[in-house]
Amino acid sequence: MEEFSVDDPTQLLQAASDFAYYSGFQNDASTKEFLDRFPLPVIINALQTKSDMPGLESTLAVCLERLFKTKYGASLIPHYMPFIQVGLKADSPIVRCLACKTVTCLLENFNGNNVSAAQLIVDYGVYPLLLDCLVNGNEQVATASMDAIKRLAGLPQGMGIIVPTNTKDPTHLRELATRCSSLGRVRILALIVKLFSVSSSVASVVHKSNLLGCFEEEVNKTDDTLVMLSVLELLYELSEIQHGREFLSVSTLLQLLSSIISSTSMESVLRSRAMMISGRLLYKENYMFADERSIRTVISAIDGSLGSSATQDTDEYESALEALGQIGSSIQGAELLLSSSPPAVRHVVDTAFNRQGRGKQLAALHALGNISGETRSENSMILNSNSEETLRQLIYETASKTSKLTPSGLILSVLQQDSETRLAGYRVITGLVARPWFLMEVCAKKDIIDMVTDANTETTKIGMEARYNCCKAIQKALMSSSKVASDPSLAGIVAKVYDAVRMGPYLARKQLEARPAVMTADRF
């Protein structure tokens, strides 16, 4: 075997590059073979002393990462804990990132008989160094550190290290947050979200340690728009974790979001984001995690924003409409929107049939589709009697103020617009047609039936499916209506809708029979 020279690490660089970027799987045998040629002390020494050689540092880092991901490589890590200590404190981001990833490999693969991986973390003071990488490292280093800490949290002794009983311990995340920059605090909040996702038991420890209070404190004290946006997104991410809502107070969060939405001193982008997150939190059945008072507070805040002359920003207005649509996707949410005084749904109905802004109209039409039940199951589309009457009155009143005069005229004008608007119109019809009064409006305009049953109207898959679902909803409403059976004038409509449903969503035209091609024979 050719002898390796420390003074000339060219041979190491070539071999490490081959190992690091090998496209196949590196197993324990190939790892051992490589380390027999270039022992770990040699590689580590080259990494520390020859980092100025072009490409050496990055190549050795990738090589070591692949080495330590094998079981054989991971078994060697406990013997090189001082290397991890030095690496976590290195000036080089590449080396710090490697050290963080090496910790993750240790926690994932080490099965020591005499000492646990968590104990090694304690004995060598690794955890405080990981925290320093988290709050002070670059993005790659912080991410690698976060992954290592998340892995530590999954070990039996891990949460005892991450959440010390002494709240004044320098490594306690609440205490650490008081000494950090705004970026560091956001990273700590991101770590808390990751810890929540580990398991229900870990989430319980995080909750009992009152770490969730860090979110509320950050929102209340910061005047940095970018920081606020980051915190809001992390809060939403936290609320999406499967076992997160049992610990996260959605009601408290909604109150916090309502204050942002209502504040005229807040930037428009923050109010828009708060509205969107409120809507997502209450989408479909999520409302069960919040009390009615908190939901009404959010609705009132969004309604106030839509009715304010200060709301000139189109994105903010569209976000408000979308949020109302998400809240109205559940029966409880829709009924609360229609029972507020004045009903917040009035903004949705007015804008849905107002062609002064395409983006706003689209957002309103989709919101109206949600509120009317297009996203709900068949047996949960109809609301209580008071809400239904309010919805009917709003639509008729809006129609009476336009040149169309009737709801059927409004719907037809929507279907006569571009494909995106038609798709939203199909959703509105699909939801509203379960109401007998709206079914009669649809049947009152022959052009509406002609358009929704015309298989050639749509050319995109999503458009074809929306049109087909609309036809199915009309057919179901016709079959359920006692008036249809006694009105022979509707027989043609019933037949036309039935035929459209029978053809399916993708048959753009009936199959044409093959015709023989008759040609005169060529003669020479």
H/E element, 452: helix 446-453
Is 437 domain-assigned?
no
Q: Tell whether 9 and 138 lie within a shared domain.
A: yes
Q: Tell whether 32 and 108 lie within a shared domain.
A: yes
CA Rg, the chain, in Å? 32
Q: Tell whether pTM > 0.75.
A: yes
Q: Is the pLDDT of residue 36 over 60?
A: yes
Question: Of 98, 156, 150, 93, whose CA–CA distance to 127 is shortest?
Answer: 150
Q: Is the pLDDT of residue 223 over 80?
A: no
Domain boundary among 242, 258, 273: 242
- Count the Cβ atoms, other than its own, within 10 Å of residue 389: 12
Give me the domain span that covers residue 80. 1-162
Which residues 6+ apart lie within 8 Å of 174 measured at CB? 167, 209, 210, 211, 213, 214
Question: Of 399, 347, 355, whose CA–CA distance to 371 is shortest?
Answer: 347
Check if the beta carbon of residue 87 is closer than 8 Å to that of residue 95: yes
How many structural domains does the chain have? Answer: 2
Q: Is the pLDDT of residue 2 over 70?
A: no
Is 377 domain-assigned?
no
Question: Model confidence over 126-140: pLDDT tens digits?
Answer: 999 999 999 999 999
Check if the beta carbon of residue 315 is closer than 8 Å to that of residue 331: no
Domain of 31: which CATH number?
1.25.10.10
Which DSSP state fits 280? H
What pLDDT score does 88 carry?
94
H/E element, 448: helix 446-453
What pLDDT score does 266 carry?
83
What pLDDT score does 7 carry?
56
Is 480 domain-assigned?
no
Domain boundary among 162, 193, 210: 162
Is 262 domain-assigned?
no
Is 84 domain-assigned?
yes
Q: Cα 393 to the chain's mean position, in Å?
A: 36
> Which tokens in the block code for residue 456?
């050639």
Domain boundary among 242, 265, 293: 242
Side-chain-side CA neighbours of residue 73 (13 Å): 24
Question: Of 221, 223, 227, 279, whose CA–CA distance to 253 is shortest?
Answer: 279
Angle of helix 126-136 relative to helix 182-196, nearest 10 degrees, comes to 120
